[in-house]
A and B are shown apart, each in its own frame.
Chain A
Amino acid sequence: MAARAARHRPPNILYGVEDRPPLVVNVLSGLQHVGLMSVFLMYPALLAQAAGAPPDIGASLVSMTMIALAIGTLLQVIRMGPVGSGYLCQPISSVVYFVPSLLAVKQGGLTLVFGMTAAAGLLEVVLARGLGRLRALFPAEISGLVVLLVGITTGSVGLRTALDDVDLSSTANSHQLGLALATLALMVALNVWGRGPVRMFCMLLGMAGGYVAAWLLGAIGDSEWERVAAAPAIALPALGHLGLSFDATLAIPFAIAAVAASLKAMGNVTTCQKLNDADWVRPDMRSIGRGVAADGLGSLISGLLGGHGLNSSTPVVGLSNATGITSRSVAWPVAAILLGLAFVPRIGLVLSTMPKAVVGAALVFSSTFIIVNGIEIMTSRLLDVRKTLVIGTAIVFGLAVEMNPHLLRILPTAARAALGSSIVVGTLVGLLLNLLLRIGVRRTATIEVEPGAPGTAEALEEFIEAQGAAWGARRDVIERAGFNLAQSIETIASIGVVNGVLEVAASFDEFRLDLRVSYDGPLPELPDKRPTNEEIIASEEGERRLAGFMLRRLADRVSASQKGARSVIVFHFDH
């Protein structure tokens, strides 16, 4: 309900979201974005390897993902109906969907991956409409926990991929281990000591270095090179493997992925809002909801096309920040380049024939950032005893399954497939404990004042500021609440209170601050539409309508009711 403030471009942003950079800048920026996005195409390539699919199918999976990425990029910027945040917040093929896709590919092949990815994308679109409730179920510690578990699983899969069947007594296998370690070391070195583009593309450069080393060591067979060389320069992706299938036992892992993707998209769209507005105060939930819907549609389309699950990317948003180019017009060259490259089968073939040691090293490298990102999200709020218990217990359960899978034998066979991963077990334990330990977490304080008495508005502001500080509430929310109380008391005093006392009850948990204002007297008007300047100037009635309009807009939701002489106005502020 509250309006987004007019954007005021920060000084470090050269081209803001509404700006149109020159064509050359647009295209070069688009190329840079595609370069970064292409790093994550290793996930569909690796998925094809895990499925044991022939290279042309692997190449098709990569191509179809590229087409979906192009569509997903445009969906974010074009703002059609309830879809599209309006920001340059394009997706990548995401690790969030990679982990459940590995489960699906083992259980039912690629068609099951596509079907479940499409279903998860659809769920994300649905979730976009109820983000407020989602936040309550998934506070920062649970969001961070999911990201942490995704990171741990990715690193674990990476190690297993790199060291698959390694027998160190064999020279060939010690080469594989050496290659994995050297690739990882190269990525780390480029990231720590590299600068500018070298640092930005350290993973891509590390993978290229590992690929060349594998070729020099003879780890890539001649037949694989011949296949790449023999592929046509331009061709339609292979379509023979396409199809959709579904399995209820995978519903939980993919639902968790959809929720994790929604939360990540929420965070990235919020970052885009901050990047483009120097006066940013609070998230614009409308734009965020549209962004999450676009994110989910991207995965839905990718699944239907036969591609990998997509999700908005923090590194991609970081690239916009680093270059100072956040213009939504960059999305068009990004989409055009991706679409063009989707019909170059050699790209997919090169990725699909990447040695396991190199892919494994890349997964381990990327997992480190995901793990730390998860820890940062978890610790972004003060960790009290309740949160400590939720996080600690969930991690112990998640890791126990990761380290010792036969612990799941205590479960019925059907449930084992649904719960058989550290992410699912850890997340479910965290969710249940979070709900259980939330009992009694909401705090309330009340104050009574006399409207019209000197210093009443100041007393109310001091009350909410003191409570806000005691509760650890966000500063911007308390400022808005303080204005609402002061303006309410002024307006209510002007329309008359019957017995002279007004009661304010403030109740708070980490997701919501509610102010319940009750008194004996008439309700003020809370119009949706601003009165005209002439109406405001003409009478105090116009001024009161302006007050009601501002009260309504400053809160996230307002409800007003009257029983007999008693009027009650409740202002809800999301936290």
Chain B
Amino acid sequence: MEMHEEQVGAVTALAVKGRLDSTTAPLLGARLESAMARPGASVVVDFVNLEYVSSAGFRVLLIASKRADESASRLVLSGLSAKVRHLFDLGGFLDLFSITASREEALKAAS
């Protein structure tokens, strides 16, 4: 998995490429935790190049979402491919996260 982080105004934008599994999920978890350390932070995670997400990846996202709720931060996901979207749907995660079609929409929603 590759991660790229960029600051767009007040929003921290992460781009994740490759596989989000039990090996790589802790890396994303650590990055999200640090990005949301400040109360009221806004974080966008772009999954347009994500190929695979396992239960370990979903767990990390759930933990980040809980952290966002507790610290009045915003977490927006974007760019799910049809395959990844199907996995989100299968695991019952589509309604749990704020998800947009594109990174631009996610940046707007998080601002």
Contact = CB atoms under 8 A, between A and B. Distances in A.
B21 A546 contact: no
Interface of A: 2-3, 5-6, 279, 281, 454, 457-458, 461, 479, 483, 486-487, 490-491, 493-494, 530, 533, 536-537, 542-544, 546-547, 549-550, 553-554
A6 B54 contact: no
Interface stretch (B9-17, B35-43, B84-92): B84-92
Interface stretch (B55-63, B71-79, B102-110): B55-63
A544 to B, nearest CB: 7
Nearest to A530: B92
Contacts of B111: none
Nearest to A4: B89
Contacts of A553: 90
B92 A486 contact: no
A537 B62 contact: yes
Contact of A458 (B19, B63, B92): B19
A6 B82 CA distance: 12
19 contacts: A3-B89, A5-B86, A457-B19, A457-B21, A479-B83, A486-B21, A487-B55, A490-B21, A490-B54, A490-B56, A533-B62, A533-B96, A536-B55, A537-B59, A542-B59, A543-B55, A543-B56, A547-B54, A554-B90
Interface of B: 19, 21-23, 52, 54-56, 58-59, 62-63, 66, 82-83, 85-87, 89-92, 94, 96
Interface of A, helix, strand, loop or mixed by DSSP: helix
Contacts of A494: 22
Contact of B55 (A454, A457, A533, A547): A547
Contacts of B94: 6
A390 B82 CA distance: 37
Nearest to B88: A5
Contacts of B62: 533, 536-537
A536 to B, nearest CB: 5
A537 B87 CA distance: 18
A2 B52 CA distance: 18
B54 A486 contact: yes
Given A281-B82, A553-B90, A554-B90, A483 B52 contact: yes
Contacts of B91: 530, 546, 549-550
